Structure 1
């Protein structure tokens, strides 16, 4: 469990690499300290590699193969491919000066995940926002207008990349209270509602509305995003805060959040009922 602000953040490809190397190390019964001594390095370097903070160079990877008795050519090739991906410049590099490190980590998880499950009780999830809603929200933050403009473009690119990937799914619980928390203007909110209604027709998005006036709907889970990687990496949970974010990898803690999220989904409106409720809010001209 790590709280990220502006320190070096773990990226998904590096985490996949580190997770695989840790499993191989444990399989041969070596401690991180023993590996560090045999590599003539430091235990902290081994720890940073396994946590995904840094990735090993090719010569280090060959040493890991020897130490961990990784002789299967397919496994070696998989690790080499992960190493290449981990060293490639990320597409969001152009926005690294305006996007905080924790947000860059989140985007890397989005890139590698096959399914994202999310609940946001304050504002709509970034992948659900219209450009106008996103701009109005971003402009409330700190920094100059030029930085806000870059963050709007960054969010647009993030959304485009997600929607252009046919194998990705977003299961999102929308808290009805977020729709009563006005952002920008009435016109922006109406446009955002129309966008949500349109997304209910997109098979990549599954929306559930958590009604505000339902005693059985409990939202104590708080802001939580769960990333599933189809077995390539253990499921990760992320909780965003005001000035950073908590990356949760502990299996029991992740499992508790997954179960709480599943209960919230079960007690929220199903997708077809969500669409009807959104249309009713729009038709009654709440804004």
Structure 2
């Protein structure tokens, strides 16, 4: 399923086609999903089209392709083949120097992703999220149900994965995928992770008392890492408003990929690019972070909670 929600549709460009892609809200389940590298290329081609003074519909007509094909390329759902890319170059009068940059982007977009070997057990929406995570310079997240995957110990992750659907063998593969994902993030020194931990996730038992205690101790260890910033949204505080719901915000370097928000559901999730919707969620995240416990108060609460799992 890949639906563009009616409230997020772009204004008509006058030719029956929708113009641009800022405004997109897409619900993903297990179909071909946008990847970050493809979205960078798509955005670059959209900027070139707009600089040429063409609407998406006009570009499609002159290229002799469907408007949906132009839309899929600009949204990052698919990557253009080289012969298609050369036609874009000619139509948009792209200079030779810029063509080289776009060809490099296309090569990166076509490159097989590291998670390809896990593609049989990872849903497409999760692959899209990991691609955003790979390219982002900053990941900000609030999860009200369970801890964010990059914060989980292997035992906590395995116990949580074991609750899901599928055979035991697929759970083992997913656990290895989760471990590889964490390792890649840990080995990327330019990335920053900012998480608001909901206290309810620490009171909701996963696995065993021993697993929960080690998980709390792990959070205390993570708080000493300069690239990871944690705050705690406490229960029983009338000033802490958590209506934001499960939200991950991806910030990227450069203008070719603006901030993206992902909010996960039971069997899929929303990829939000609409500028106003992204801005509202960023402000709600910042407000929640401001009202949450700072690092000193969070450490005290974590130690207290760890004692409960002795």
Give the TM-score normalised by structure 2. 0.90
Q: Is the 8 A contact 2:210 2:309 kept in 1?
A: no
Q: Equivalent residue for 1:168?
A: 191
2:74 to 47, 50, 56: 50
Q: Equivalent residue for 1:99?
A: 122
Q: Equivalent residue for 1:233?
A: 257
Q: Equivalent residue for 2:175?
A: 152
1:189 to 199, 206, 212: 212
Counterpart check, 1:217 vs 2:240: yes
After TM superposition, the structure 1 stretch with the greater mean CA deviation from structure 2, 237-246 or 263-272, is: 263-272
Counterpart check, 1:27 vs 2:51: yes
Q: What is the CA distance between 1:194 and its match in structure 2?
A: 0.8
Counterpart check, 1:252 vs 2:276: yes
Using a 3 Å threshold, how does the CA distance of structure 1 residues 276 and 78 change in structure 2: closer, same or farther?
Answer: farther
Alignment gaps of 5+ in structure 2: 1-24
Counterpart check, 1:272 vs 2:296: yes
Q: Deviations over 1:67-90 (max 9, x none)?
A: 2222161x3332222111110111
Q: Equivalent residue for 1:203?
A: 226
Q: What is the CA distance between 1:97 and its match in structure 2?
A: 0.5
**Rounded Cα–Cα distance in structure 2 between residues aligned with 1:130 and 1:78:** 40
After TM superposition, the structure 1 stretch with the greater mean CA deviation from structure 2, 59-68 or 139-148, is: 59-68
Q: Equivalent residue for 1:77?
A: 100
Q: Equivalent residue for 2:266?
A: 242
Q: Deviations over 1:113-168 (max 9, x none)?
A: 00000000000000000110001000101100000000000000000000000000
**Rounded Cα–Cα distance in structure 2 between residues aligned with 1:163 and 1:78:** 29
**Rounded Cα–Cα distance in structure 2 between residues aligned with 1:156 and 1:116:** 18
Q: What is the CA distance between 1:266 and its match in structure 2?
A: 0.6
**Rounded Cα–Cα distance in structure 1 between residues aligned with 2:267 and 2:212:** 25
Counterpart check, 1:2 vs 2:26: yes
Q: Where does 1:118-157 land on structure 2 (aligned, <5 Å)?
A: 118-157=141-180
**Rounded Cα–Cα distance in structure 2 between residues aligned with 1:272 and 1:52:** 42
Q: What is the CA distance between 1:280 and its match in structure 2?
A: 2.5
Using a 3 Å threshold, how does the CA distance of structure 1 residues 26 and 206 change in structure 2: closer, same or farther?
Answer: same
Q: Deviations over 1:4-59 (max 9, x none)?
A: 00111100000111111112212222122221222221111101001100011122
Q: CA RMSD in A?
A: 1.1
Using a 3 Å threshold, how does the CA distance of structure 1 residues 118 and 106 change in structure 2: closer, same or farther?
Answer: same
SS of residue in 2 equivalent to 1:116: strand
Q: What is the CA distance between 1:286 and its match in structure 2?
A: 4.1
**Rounded Cα–Cα distance in structure 2 between residues aligned with 1:69 and 1:258:** 37
Q: What is the CA distance between 1:267 and its match in structure 2?
A: 0.5
Give the TM-score normalised by structure 1. 0.97
Q: Is the 8 A contact 2:49 2:55 kept in 1?
A: yes
SS of residue in 1 equivalent to 2:249: strand
Alignment gaps of 5+ in structure 1: none
